[in-house]
Chain A
Amino acid sequence: MSTDRRPRSAASRRRFLGDVARGAGAAVLLGAGLGLHARRSAALAPTALRPPGALAEEAFQAACLRCGLCVRDCPYPTLRLAGLDEDVTPGTPYFVARSAPCEMCDDLPCVAACPSGALSPSLTDVNDARMGVAVLVDQETCLNFLGLRCDVCHRVCPLIDEAITLERTHNTRTGKHARFLPTVHADACTGCGKCEQACVLEEAAIKVLPRSLAKGELGRHYRLGWEEKARNQGEALVPGIMDLPDRMPGSGGGS
C-alpha cells in the first residue's frame, strides 16, 4: 500500500471510508456464505477413511494442508485426494476400503510425507493405526453366519487371530454342525479394510466404519462387577450384599 492512497480532502476522506465499509461489507457477506458452506462440508462420508495416523476428524480438519503429498507417496492406489464432487472435504486424503484398502506399509510413507502433522508422526508402528474399525454389519448374509466356511475376511486380516478371530458356536439350524463366526476385536483392528475388500459377497457383510460410528461407549460411572472383583482379590466390591434368587425364563414376572 503506497502513501498515495491516503485521503487528503474531506470528500476523498468520505469516499475512502465508504470504500472501507463497502470492502468490509462485501467480505463479511462472502464470509457468511463460506461459513455456512464450511458447516455443511465438514461431514465426512462414512465410507471414506482417513490414512494411518490421521488425527481425530475435527483436529484433522484444522491440520491437513490439503497438499496431497501423502497421496503421492502412497505406493498403492489406496489414498485419493478428494475433489469437489465428493462427500469428503476437498483436497483431503481418504480411501475407500472396498475398492482399495490400506496395505499397511511398515515404513508408513504417508505419515512420513505429511508436512503438517495431520498424519501424526507419533505413529511409528502401523499396527497401532486406528483408521476405523471393521464391523460385521450383516449377519444375515455373512456365509460363516449361514454355517458355511468362507473365512475369507479372517484369512486376509494382517492381524489374523488378533483383530479377527473365528468364534465357534453351535449351529442350531442343522443341530449337529458348528458355525465359525468372524469376530472383530476393536482393540487390535487397525481399520485397514482388507476384510471389507475381500468379502466375497456382492455387497460386503463386513465393513470398516469410522470408530465414532462403530463403537459404543459405556457410561463413565459403569463398573463391571467381574473386573472389580478380580482387582479386589476375588472379593466382591461391596461385601455381604444380599443375593436375590435368579428369575427363571417363563416363570412369570410380566405385568
Chain B
Amino acid sequence: MSRARVPGVEATATKGWLRAHRFLVLRRLSQLLVVALFMTAPLLGVAVLDGSLAASRILGVVPLSDPLVLAQTLAAGHWPASTALVGAAIVLGFYALLGGRAYCAWVCPVNVATDAAAWLHARLGLPPGWQPPRATRRWLVVVALVLSALTGTVVWELVNPVTLVHRGLVFGIGLTWAVVAAVFLFDLLVSRHGWCGRLCPVGATYAAVGQRALVRIRADARAACDDCLDCVAVCPEPQVIMPVLKGEARGVPPVIVDADCTACGRCVDVCAKHVFHLGTRLVPRAPADRTRAANTVPRGTHRDAGGIRP
C-alpha cells in the first residue's frame, strides 16, 4: 500500500471536517459521558450511574453487570446474588441488540488510548510488530475462565485495563496513568492494533454477545467505491470490510455482519464516496431495489448515505 495517501484527507476535503469526523466526535463524547455519569454521585450527589464498568446501577435502581466478570465469578465457584444476574441479563440484552463491540468503540475508556496509539503508529509509519492471530482474544476468554476456576478468584480483573482504568478515573485510585501508558505503548511499539484487536477478552466477549446484533454498519452504496482503501486503513478490524465491500458480485448483502466490527463508524467518516452508513442488519428482500427507503437507518445517517448516490 502506498504511504503517500493519508486516509481522511479526501473525505475532509469533500465532506468538510465535521462530516469527516462525526463518528469520532460522537464516540469521544459518549466515552466521556460514560465516565462523567459515573462521577455524578461523588460530584453532584445524584447517582446517575454508580459503581464501575464491572458492575453498576442506573439511578440507584437498575443493576448492570459485565458478562465476563460475572462468568469469572461463576467459574471461580460463587453463585452471585440475583441483582448481579439481572444486571448481566440487561447488559447482554442491550448489546445483543445494539452490537456487542459497540461497547469497545463507544464505552470502553481504553479505546481512547488504543485509538491514539493506532493514529500515531500510522503517522510514524512503524512496522506492525508482534501480530498474534485475532482469535487469541477468544482463547484468552477461555484462559480467564479456566484460571478463575483454578485460582478461585476473578482472575482477569487483576490485569483488565478496561476496569482498572475506569475504576481509576471514577474512584481516583492509584496508577491509572500507568495502565493507560502500558496499553498505549504496547499498541504503539509492540503490536499494532494489538490490545483491542488481538488480546482483549472483554472485547471478545462483547463480540460473542453481539453475533446477531440488529445495529450494523452497512455499505449500501458500495458500487460508488473507488478503491482508495481509506476505510481499510482506518478500520481497527479491517478484515470485516472487504468481504462486504467487494461482495456484491458474490451476492453478499451490503451489511457488515461480522461481530468483530466495533461500529466505530471510522469507515463512514473516512469515505469520501459515502459508501458506508450506520443501519440495521435487516436486508431488504428485493435485491435489485436500491432505493433509500429500503434501509432502516437511525439518526439521520441515511440522508447522508443517500445524498450522493448515482
Instruction: Assess whether B52 is in contact with A68, with CB atoms less than 8 Å apart.
Output: yes
Binds B, one of A20-28, A125-133, A134-142, A169-177: A20-28
Instruction: Assess whether A116 is in contact with B84, with CB atoms less than 8 Å apart.
Output: yes
Contact of A89 with B by CB under 8 A: yes
- Report B253-294 CB contacts with A as 1/0, cut-off 8 Å: 000011100000000000000000000000000000000000
Contact of B167 with A by CB under 8 A: yes
Contact of A7 with B by CB under 8 A: no
Residues in B whose Cβ lies below 8 Å from that of A62: 73, 76-78, 148, 152-154
Partner of A61, one of B66, B76, B173: B76
Q: How large is the interface on A (under 10, 10 to 19, 20 to 34, 35 or more residues)?
A: 35 or more
Instruction: Assess whether A38 is in contact with B155, with CB atoms less than 8 Å apart.
Output: yes
Contact of B229 with A by CB under 8 A: no
Partner of B158, one of A1, A41, A114: A41
Instruction: Assess whether B132 is in contact with A23, with CB atoms less than 8 Å apart.
Output: yes
Instruction: Assess whether B154 is in contact with A83, with CB atoms less than 8 Å apart.
Output: no
Contact of B147 with A by CB under 8 A: yes
Residues in A whose Cβ lies below 8 Å from that of B189: none
Partner of B80, one of A26, A58, A117: A117
Cα separation A4 to B151 with both chains bound (whole Å) = 37
Whole-angstrom distance between the Cβ of B67 and the nearest chain A Cβ: 11
Whole-angstrom distance between the Cβ of B171 and the nearest chain A Cβ: 5
- Report B49-61 CB contacts with A as 1/0, cut-off 8 Å: 0111011110000
Whole-angstrom distance between the Cβ of A1 and the nearest chain B Cβ: 7
Residues of chain B in range 138-184 having any CB-CB distance to chain A below 8 Å: 138-140, 142-144, 146-148, 150-159, 163-164, 167-168, 170-171, 173-176, 178-179
Whole-angstrom distance between the Cβ of B218 and the nearest chain A Cβ: 15
Whole-angstrom distance between the Cβ of A166 and the nearest chain B Cβ: 40
Instruction: Assess whether A63 is in contact with B73, with CB atoms less than 8 Å apart.
Output: yes
Whole-angstrom distance between the Cβ of A72 and the nearest chain B Cβ: 5
Instruction: Contacts A85-B175, A90-B164 given; indicate if A35 touches B151 (C-beta within 8 A).
Output: yes
Contact of A11 with B by CB under 8 A: no
Residues in A whose Cβ lies below 8 Å from that of B41: 72
Can you offer 12 A-B residue contacts whose CB atoms are under 8 A?
A19-B135, A27-B139, A28-B139, A39-B151, A61-B153, A65-B69, A65-B70, A65-B84, A67-B54, A81-B171, A89-B158, A91-B54
Name A residues whose Cβ lies closer than 8 Å to a Cβ of B: 1-2, 4, 19-20, 22-24, 26-28, 30-31, 34-35, 37-39, 41-42, 58-59, 61-69, 71-72, 80-86, 89-91, 114-118, 121
Name B residues whose Cβ lies closer than 8 Å to a Cβ of A: 41-42, 47, 50-52, 54-57, 63, 65-66, 69-70, 73, 76-81, 83-84, 87, 132-136, 138-140, 142-144, 146-148, 150-159, 163-164, 167-168, 170-171, 173-176, 178-179, 199, 211, 240, 243, 257-259
